[in-house]
Chain A
């Protein structure tokens, strides 16, 4: 029952947020220029322009256009792309898989590497190992990801020829973009886990667990790690959202066929419906991830009550 109330409350909140996101995209799109000028030849007659505007519904007032967009969106219709002349939803869903693949591989790398490094640093606090991890995280946060991507391409794709330069044609294609994308998240997760574990390791329940003579690994993972999980899960949710957003730049470098590249193309060609659709779908992903995160809290920490 609590789960139902929780879901209803959160879905209502999510709907409001999506309304805000769509309104912002709509306003920005419609106040920054006329797409029709880019779609027709420069010498097109005014009548031809007006006909095109009417065809796309751009001749109606903004509130009407926005209202119609929302109505159609509720029915799963995000409109038709000006440029591709195909339903936006199909275009976006076709590309979503590639972006998910990239984001999830990057997320997996960040989680495994970040948790591993953070744990290691916390356990070896004050040693050379700790200093190395700290140095790695500081450098990882400072290096521009797109710059790292370029260097990785030069070293591993051009010189060593271990991975393809770009595209998504082979199974190995995802490696370089995913590593590039994961760097900042890895560093942030390692930093967070290090400080969370240092705090946990000093807690009374850890001393008790050790005094009871439990296995070292059991003390560490069951009693220790579980208590460091809450901040980690909060952050992981935000990171996954951030990865989807950052993928835009990385997809551009590696010619990765995801929604980032689709959306950049939509921006360049002023393809409003396509842009609006990609932004909305990305926002839906972010919100869904964070809903799951909130539910995960209750699985990890029985004291947390869903509201």
Chain B
């Protein structure tokens, strides 16, 4: 096994930090994300002149502790991102396997679905669905999975096309291994690498998109602290109290950076030919 390069290590470190924060939120947060400290409303971060004590990253317009909200907000971003990536993976990988293995009309139908999805302005679809069906965790995850499944389907389809006529696949079919078993035992393990790489990038994409949707005011219930909702709330105070929107934005950027770096490293590690 090759040693992990510095960028890969940084990615793994950032993701570990984000996951640990989400899991240990009640332990590491200085207070609850919903506690109002009305005497310290719009208090700037501790290192800025005029800061009220007890709020390291300042407070928002109703006196809630920004640090605590950023810490608790990680739970929504990470769980939505991971759930959407997994659901997208299940749908997309299945589609890719079927299209690549069976070809012909199955491939034609699935490729058509992929092209329809790609031509669809996704942000509009998401706002539309969430605006009418209503938000909530499940709805947001499903909508984000609709955005990411094509990533998996395209990669898996291509990989399966390349390996479906390999000797070990032909041998399995020749001795009468059922199709389902051939797909799961002989083909799926050989496309697992690319799937994991796509999962990493798709998680990053899902976290960014979820934040954008919360920012536009659709999706997760805004009373639950989430990074996107914090950005939306902080927008009105950008000039007077920049810290409300800047810190959740940084949290999103660092988490997405971590997932992308991890994805890059996984891809290089799994593909010995890749440069850089």
Contacts and interface: CB of A to CB of B under 8 A. Distances in A.
Contact of A138 (B118, B119, B125, B257): B257
A286 B112 contact: no
Interface majority SS (helix, strand, loop, mixed), chain B: helix
Given A17-B119, A286-B118, A32 B124 contact: no
A283 B122 CA distance: 10
B276 interface: yes
Interface in B224-253: 231, 235, 238-239, 242, 245-246, 249, 252-253
B123 A245 contact: yes
B190 interface: no
Interface majority SS (helix, strand, loop, mixed), chain A: helix
Contacts of A20: 112-113, 115-116
Contact of B128 (A139, A144, A195, A267): A267
A249 B133 CA distance: 20
B257 A142 contact: yes
A158 interface: yes
B88 to A, nearest CB: 17
A7 interface: no
B1 interface: no
A233 to B, nearest CB: 16
B275 A195 contact: yes
Interface in B72-129: 112-113, 115-116, 118-125, 127-129
A11 to B, nearest CB: 14
B35 to A, nearest CB: 26
A38 to B, nearest CB: 11
B252 A147 contact: yes
Given A138-B261, A142-B253, A270 B132 contact: yes
Contacts of B212: 144-146, 249
A198 B121 contact: no
B128 A147 contact: no
Interface in A213-264: 238, 241, 244-246, 248-249, 252, 260, 263-264
A150 B238 contact: yes
Contact of A267 (B131, B235, B242, B276): B131
A62 B128 CA distance: 19
B124 A267 contact: yes
B208 interface: yes
A136 B249 CA distance: 17
Give the size category of A's interface with B: 35 or more
Interface in B185-229: 204, 208, 211-212, 215-216
A143 interface: yes
B260 interface: yes
A28 interface: yes
Contacts of B274: 195
B242 A24 contact: no
A142 to B, nearest CB: 4
A5 interface: no
Given A241-B119, A279-B120, A283-B120, A17 B125 contact: no
A279 B123 CA distance: 10
Nearest to B123: A248
28 contacts: A18-B119, A20-B116, A21-B120, A24-B116, A28-B129, A138-B260, A139-B257, A143-B253, A144-B208, A144-B212, A144-B256, A147-B253, A195-B275, A198-B275, A238-B118, A248-B121, A249-B212, A263-B124, A264-B124, A267-B128, A267-B132, A268-B131, A275-B128, A278-B124, A279-B124, A282-B121, A283-B120, A283-B121
Interface of B: 7, 112-113, 115-116, 118-125, 127-129, 131-133, 204, 208, 211-212, 215-216, 231, 235, 238-239, 242, 245-246, 249, 252-254, 256-257, 260-261, 274-276
Given A144-B253, A252-B216, 5 more contacts: A17-B115, A147-B249, A154-B242, A249-B212, A287-B119
Interface of A: 13, 16-18, 20-21, 24-25, 28-29, 32-33, 134, 138-139, 141-147, 150-151, 153-154, 158, 194-195, 198-199, 238, 241, 244-246, 248-249, 252, 260, 263-264, 267-268, 270, 275, 278-279, 282-283, 286-287
